[in-house]
Homo-oligomer: A and B are copies of this chain.
Amino acid sequence: MLFHVRMDVAIPHGLDPKVRAELVATEKARAEEIQRSGKWPELWRVVGEYANISIFDVDSNDELHGLLSSLPLFPYMDVKVTPLAKHPSKVG
């Protein structure tokens, strides 16, 4: 089941640089882990913004929320989730 997710990241400017670096590193590791699980098939950078647009492929809403809230940057993100369905004109 596919979900469109937009994540806008806003890490407080005043955060200790070391804490920030650690946060970003663990975020990257966790993101890669979820992608390798097949649950996060698409991840793109929005040009010019500290934001991404992603496609998640999960079995339930709860699973999606579990994955998103497990991201280290979750507390610093504005997340919008849009459920997707099969389009009648989709080829293949």
Which A residues contact B (CB, under 8 angstroms)? Answer: 1-5, 12-15, 27-28, 31-32, 35-36, 42-50, 52-53, 55, 60-62, 64-66, 68-69, 75-76, 79-92
Contacts and interface: CB of A to CB of B under 8 A. Distances in A.
Given A13-B76, A91-B36, A85 B4 contact: no
A78 B81 CA distance: 18
Contact of A65 (B42, B45, B62, B79): B45
A64 B85 contact: yes
A9 to B, nearest CB: 10
A90 B2 contact: no
Report the 4 A-B pairs with minimum CB-CB distance, sorted nearest first. Answer: A48-B79, A44-B84, A65-B85, A35-B91
